Structure 1
Amino acid sequence: MGNTKQYLSTMKKLRPLLAIMFLLIGNAASYAQIRIEIAKMPALLAPEQGLYFASNINSWDPGDPDYKFQKTADGKYFIELPDSLNSFQYKITQGTWAAVEGDEDGKSRPNRTFSVENDPKHLAIEIARWEQGIAYKFQITEIPANTPHDATLYITGSFNNWNPRDERYKLTRLKDGTYRVKVQTELSKIEYKFTRGTWSSVEGRDNGKGLSNRVISTDKAGAEAIQVNVKTWEDLPRSANSLSFYEVLLLCSSIIGVLAVLIIRNIDNYDKEANRWLITLILMTSGFTAARVLTANKDFVEIFPKMLLAPDFILFTYAPVFLFYVQKLLFNAVTPPANWRWHFVLFVLQTIAYVPLFLMDNTELVLGLINQTIPVRTLFAVIGGLAVLVNIAYWLNIRGVINQYKKQSHSSYSYDENLNYLNTVMTIKAACLILGLATSIIFIYGWMYGVDVYSAAERCINWIWFLFSSTSYVLGYFAIYKSKIIKLSTSPLSANHSQSGDSPVHSPDKRNDDAMDEVVMQQFKEKLESYMERSKPYTNPQLSINDLAGKLKIQPHVLSRVINECYEKNFFYFINEYRIDEFKRKLEDPEYKKYKLLSIAYEVGFNSKSAFNRSFKKLTKYSPSEYFASRKMDHCELSQETTP
């Protein structure tokens, strides 16, 4: 009991000393940690949110609850960090990147840094202001595999006057391998790109070529980072500067076009005047297509940047030349026509509009074309939209010329002229025009809603060039394998000929046809029918009204009138009706049982499957196969009825 009293008495005497010891131990533990206190700061934007520590040690999370500042009784904010940290970068936030400390002007400030070697473990910092403006946060989640491991990435754009190496906008690499940066600006919409510090090392498209400016507006600003993938760097393409498969196809079409020209020039008895226009068309196609391929090559563009504008001049030149060719080929029209200059007014206006572009500095021009600045975008939108409308008008005009030729030729010829290559080219041009309209709609949509439509529009334009270049393949094929199609087997019709399908193509005599009375008309009709039954001239696939009139020893225009008035048909269907009747007779002939329907059609005078099918359907209301099937059924029923 005495010892206990003595112990308690001793502890009472040591109590002040123990308190001092515990205080010293507590202070030592406190100073063993890194402590950051906010000595001065402006009012919080959201007081209930508190302050947070965002750093590379917590993946720059602006609202990490494990790194939230504590608040003392007198209203001071502080945070304590492990003393094992040797160095780190950090900023103070209010829980989001939209509310982060800035410089004295309210603009973005560089990251704060701490180093054990240079800084005390107890820091008192001051926050000048909170950043003002709209906060855009970007996170690059993927970069090209060939990016140098020590590369420093920057964001540049309309917010920093396109400085490609602005240290304020250097991206921070996070532990997960992604890169993050925040842009604080008063701009409601910004255009931007990522670089490695120079314009030569700016990001590019998948193919390594120039990428148009990225665009973003205020609706994307906020707490969530905008995810971005960098596909390539312009100075570090994924592969050697080789041609893509698409470019190889375009280049081959140019070469085939030149070969087609050489072949066409050696076709015997070809229409030289018409084919001069055809050769001009092919050379234009090959030349502009080659220019398109060359301007896709970065090295070529660096030497000849103005060549980027060259392919555009096809817009108002190809269609007029194609029209002149068709008019010359089908109607032997005088080409170019007397008013030919009017056909190229738009080409001249386009050239004048492009003069300012040709006068630009090379670098300014390339950047303007890649980034589609407002003046350049407006010019191209007007030129492109007008080109689509004009080319549609020319397409309809040329289609009308071809249809007019077909209609008039039926008054003089018993067969369809093979215009397959013209129809094929017209189909290709129609597809190009549809894609041109789609491109215009895409641009209008992008302009109205502020959407980046560059990639979609570029795909449409690439398809237009691919289809356009395919005309060289088409003409090359016909020139090599179907050379007879390149030249018409008939003489061109008169350009001044009436458009009525019931009028003869050949110029009539000056005598008065109305003087021919019904008796004379009937005599000519009987003479015609007698000769058709006796001589069967319709079996000649190339029969024309001139040929038949010569055999009957009457004027072609008289024969045409007899056919038109007595049979209410043109020459084409008059002859083909005889051919179809002969086809039906042969179909019943046992000698032709093993023949195919098309073989019989050729036997009776048809020169093509399309002409046979069309004429048969028009005159019998059945297709040849339907008619043949019905005849077989009739024979079966008849056989059953006669079977005892």
Structure 2
Amino acid sequence: MQFEFTPKSGLLLIFFVHGLVFCFLLLKKGWQHQDKASLWLSLFVFLCAMYIAPFMLGYAGWYSRGFSRNIMFYVPFQQLLLIGPVIYFYTQSLLNKSFQLSKKDFWHFFPALAYFVYTLVVFITDKLILHQYYFYADQQDKDLDPWYQVAGLISMLVYLYLSLRYYAVYKKLAFEVVSFADSILFNWVQRYLLALLLISLLRVLFFILNPEWGEFGSKFWYYLCFSILFYYITISGYANSVQSVIAMEAALSDHEAPVQVQEKEIKEPAELVNLPEWKDKVVQMMQTERLFENPNLTLTDVAEKLKTNPKQVSQIVNQGFQLNFNDFVNQYRTEAILEKFQQGEHRQKTLLALALECGFNSKSTFNRAFKKSTGLSPQHYLKNQA
């Protein structure tokens, strides 16, 4: 089968080949490190490479020759109804290392399975029963039918929304149950979902500009933009998947992952009995035992010290101090930093060293917490005190 190298086919071929290479690398890493997120990302990258294949091969002349035309017609390259669920489950596996597919999750794959059955019926009817183009009498690739493209776009938007909602819940729970939320928020997830949103918006734009989606027309520019964005996701995802595993293992090795906490336990708390008494206990414990100096402090740690449960500690902090747990602990850390400033310790030690002594686990977290509490950066605060 001849491949006609043109500027369009050659450019898409570069992204296609790189996609397959990184698909293999992610699959290998996921298998070796038992990293489910890498396995899901590998599947996503493969689907993206297959997504651009019809246009890459089309610009290479495969629709104009008999045997290669049959490949283009009867191989369902674009699995549009599968990309959305893969995005959703990749997001979950990235944020929750204990994530596993349940039986009810398999319903998410039913639309993609139905489309695969449809393509199989088309192939059997045309090639094995009638021995002629029946479904393909119009010579139009079924993957490019407007109804299928629109259904794929809707599916991706729905699962993108579900992924964003899942991340929002994760972020909320992280701030409620650990004192190191900034280090496990994974900014990569935000960038990855933003890139997917941009891809979806591009599809909507090109639907408007080029409504005849079954024709090649000027859609090369959309597929080029898609290839660039999916390549960004591939490269960044490969790098960040390694970092996220290290961050999770280092930060949560001895603690419960925040996404495993029941949201209802911290979302709608009942009024706590003897709240002032519990507040005094928490304040006394934080001041005398200086628990905030533990950079990995969690809600469970405080609950064990108070001989109660994490739900009740969460209620004490939320209702008594009008703060989430992360901000509550960081407030004590900031006050400890201010005490060190008053004692002049910043003249003998670096700001980072002082921050680490007070329980902050990074310079960026320290800067954000300090500015949130005082309204100034540490440098500006010291400058104003001079």
Pick the TM interval, shorter chain.
0.7 to 0.9
> Which one has a bigger Cα radius of gyration?
1
Gaps in structure 1 of 5+ consecutive residues: 1-199, 210-243, 505-512, 636-644
Gaps in structure 2 of 5+ consecutive residues: none
Corresponding residue of 1:562 = 316
Corresponding residue of 2:7 = 207
Corresponding residue of 1:463 = 225
Alpha-carbon shift at residue 594 of structure 1 (Å): 6.7
Taking structure 1 as reference, are residues 591 and 615 closer, same or farther at Cα in structure 2, changes over 3 Å only? closer
Q: Contact (CA 8 Å) 2:370, 2:376: kept in 1 or not?
A: yes
What do you get for the CA RMSD once the two structures are aligned?
4.0
Corresponding residue of 1:624 = 377
Corresponding residue of 1:118 = none
Corresponding residue of 1:440 = 207
Taking structure 1 as reference, are residues 307 and 413 closer, same or farther at Cα in structure 2, changes over 3 Å only? farther
Q: Give matches, 1:419-498, under 5 Å.
A: 419-444=186-211, 454-480=216-242, 483-485=245-247, 489=252, 490-493=255-258, 497-498=262-263
Alpha-carbon shift at residue 391 of structure 1 (Å): 0.8
C-alpha separation in 1, matches of 2:13 and 2:140: 29
C-alpha separation in 2, matches of 1:608 and 1:460: 41
Taking structure 1 as reference, are residues 499 and 461 closer, same or farther at Cα in structure 2, changes over 3 Å only? farther
Corresponding residue of 1:526 = 280
Q: Return the structure number with greater relative CO, CA threshold 8 A, min gap 6.
A: 2
Alpha-carbon shift at residue 574 of structure 1 (Å): 0.9
Amino acid paired to 2:49: T
Q: Contact (CA 8 Å) 1:288, 1:310: kept in 2 or not?
A: no
Alpha-carbon shift at residue 284 of structure 1 (Å): 4.3
Alpha-carbon shift at residue 384 of structure 1 (Å): 1.4
Q: What do the CA deviations read for 1:87-136 (whole angstroms, capped 9, x no partner)?
A: xxxxxxxxxxxxxxxxxxxxxxxxxxxxxxxxxxxxxxxxxxxxxxxxxx
More strand by share: 1
Q: Give matches, 1:46-195, under 5 Å.
A: none
Alpha-carbon shift at residue 484 of structure 1 (Å): 0.8
Q: Contact (CA 8 Å) 1:384, 1:440: kept in 2 or not?
A: no
Corresponding residue of 2:104 = 339
SS in 1 for 2:279: helix
More helix by share: 2
TM-score, normalized by length of structure 1?
0.49
Corresponding residue of 1:190 = none
SS in 1 for 2:157: helix
Q: Contact (CA 8 Å) 1:419, 1:485: kept in 2 or not?
A: no
Alpha-carbon shift at residue 483 of structure 1 (Å): 4.0
Alpha-carbon shift at residue 613 of structure 1 (Å): 4.6
C-alpha separation in 1, matches of 2:149 and 2:319: 51
Of 79, 83, 87 in structure 2, the residue corresponding to residue 318 of structure 1 is 83
Q: Contact (CA 8 Å) 2:44, 2:86: kept in 1 or not?
A: no
Alpha-carbon shift at residue 502 of structure 1 (Å): 5.0
Taking structure 1 as reference, are residues 257 and 612 closer, same or farther at Cα in structure 2, changes over 3 Å only? farther
Corresponding residue of 2:42 = 282
C-alpha separation in 1, matches of 2:222 and 2:162: 25
Q: Contact (CA 8 Å) 1:281, 1:318: kept in 2 or not?
A: no
Corresponding residue of 1:577 = 331
Amino acid paired to 1:632: K
Taking structure 1 as reference, are residues 500 and 396 closer, same or farther at Cα in structure 2, changes over 3 Å only? farther
Amino acid paired to 2:84: A
Of 408, 414, 439 in structure 1, the residue corresponding to residue 173 of structure 2 is 408
Taking structure 1 as reference, are residues 207 and 609 closer, same or farther at Cα in structure 2, changes over 3 Å only? same
C-alpha separation in 2, matches of 1:282 and 1:539: 40
Q: What do the CA deviations read for 1:160-205 (whole angstroms, capped 9, x no partner)?
A: xxxxxxxxxxxxxxxxxxxxxxxxxxxxxxxxxxxxxxxx9xxx99
Taking structure 1 as reference, are residues 465 and 353 closer, same or farther at Cα in structure 2, changes over 3 Å only? farther
Taking structure 1 as reference, are residues 592 and 208 closer, same or farther at Cα in structure 2, changes over 3 Å only? closer
Identical pairs, percent = 19
Alpha-carbon shift at residue 460 of structure 1 (Å): 0.8
Q: What do the CA deviations read for 1:54-97 (whole angstroms, capped 9, x no partner)?
A: xxxxxxxxxxxxxxxxxxxxxxxxxxxxxxxxxxxxxxxxxxxx
